[in-house]
Structure 1
Amino acid sequence: MPHRKEREIWSVSELVSHLSGLVDRDERSKAVWIQGEITNFIHHTSSGHMYFSIKDQSAKMKAVMFKWSSRFLLFKPKNGDQVTIRGELYVYEKDGQVQLKVLEMKNSGQGDLYSKYLQLKERLELEGLFTRPKRQIPTYPRRVGVITSAQGAVVRDIITTMKRRYPLTQIVLLPVAVQGMHAVREISEAILEMNRLADVDVLIVGRGGGSLEELWAFNEEVVVRAIAESLIPIISAVGHETDNTLSDYVADLRAATPTAAAEMVVPDFQEIAQRFESLHTRLYHSSIKVIEGKRSKLHSVLERPIFQKPGERLEQYSQRLDYLERDLRSYAQSKTAKSALKVEQLSSRLYRLRPHQSIISYQEQLSRLCRDQLRAMNATMDREGNRLERSLEKLDALSPLKVLKRGYSVVYRFHQPDLIASTSQVKLGDLLKVRMQDGILKCQVFGTEEQGDE
Structure 2
Amino acid sequence: MRVLSVSQINFFIKSLIEGDGRMRDIYARGEISNFTDHYRSGHLYFSLKDEKSVLKAVMFSSAARRLRFCPKEGMRVIVRGRVAVYEPGGQYQFYVEEMQPDGVGALSLAFEQLKEKLAAEGLFAEEHKRPIPPFPARIGVITSPTGAAVQDIRNILSRRWPAAEIVFCPVLVQGEDAAAQLTAAVKLMNAQKAADVIIIGRGGGSAEDLVAFNDETLARAVFASKIPVISAVGHETDFTICDFVADLRAPTPSAAAELAVPDREEMRAALAQLTRRLCGSVQAGLDDRRQMLDALASANVLQNPSAWLSPRR
TM-score by length of 2: 0.63
1:241 deviation in Å? 0.4
* Letter of the 1:124 counterpart: L
Q: Choose the corresponding residue for 1:146, options 141, 146, 153.
A: 141
Q: Choose the corresponding residue for 1:210, options 189, 201, 205.
A: 205
Aligned counterpart, 1:118? 112
* Letter of the 1:203 counterpart: I
Q: Choose the corresponding residue for 1:196, options 191, 194, 197.
A: 191
* Letter of the 1:284 counterpart: C
Aligned counterpart, 1:76? none
1:199 deviation in Å? 3.1
1:97-246 aligned within 5 A: 111-131=105-125, 133-246=128-241
* Letter of the 1:243 counterpart: D
Q: Distance in 2 between matches of 1:314 and 1:170?
A: 72
* Letter of the 2:115 counterpart: K
Using the aligned pairs only, state the percent identity: 46
Aligned counterpart, 2:92? none
The gaps in structure 1 that reach 5 residues or longer are 1-107, 321-454
1:368-383 aligned within 5 A: none
Aligned counterpart, 1:306? 301
| Root-mean-square deviation (Å) | 2.2
* Letter of the 1:186 counterpart: Q
1:44-443 aligned within 5 A: 111-131=105-125, 133-310=128-305, 312=306, 316=310, 320=313
Cα-to-partner distance string for 1:74-108 (whole Å, 9 max, x where unaligned):
xxxxxxxxxxxxxxxxxxxxxxxxxxxxxxxxxx9
1:270 deviation in Å? 1.2
1:314 deviation in Å? 8.9
Which SS does the other structure have where 1:150 is aligned?
A: coil
Which SS does the other structure have where 2:232 is aligned?
A: strand
Q: Distance in 1 between matches of 2:161 and 2:304?
A: 61
The gaps in structure 2 that reach 5 residues or longer are 1-101
Summarize the Cα distance change of 1:190–1:313 in structure 2 as closer, same or farther, 3 Å threshold.
farther
Quick check: which has more Rg, 1 or 2? 1
Higher helix proportion, which one? 1
* Letter of the 1:204 counterpart: I
1:315 deviation in Å? 6.2
Cα-to-partner distance string for 1:14-38 (whole Å, 9 max, x where unaligned):
xxxxxxxxxxxxxxxxxxxxxxxxx
2:222 and 2:229 in contact (8 A); partners too: yes
* Letter of the 1:255 counterpart: A
Which stretch shows the higher mean deviation, 110-119 or 219-228? 110-119
Q: Distance in 2 between matches of 1:109 and 1:262?
A: 39
Summarize the Cα distance change of 1:316–1:126 in structure 2 as closer, same or farther, 3 Å threshold.
same
* Letter of the 1:254 counterpart: R
Q: Distance in 2 between matches of 1:224 and 1:182?
A: 16
Count residues with an aligned counterpart.
211
Which SS does the other structure have where 2:105 is aligned?
A: helix
Q: Distance in 2 between matches of 1:269 and 1:316?
A: 68
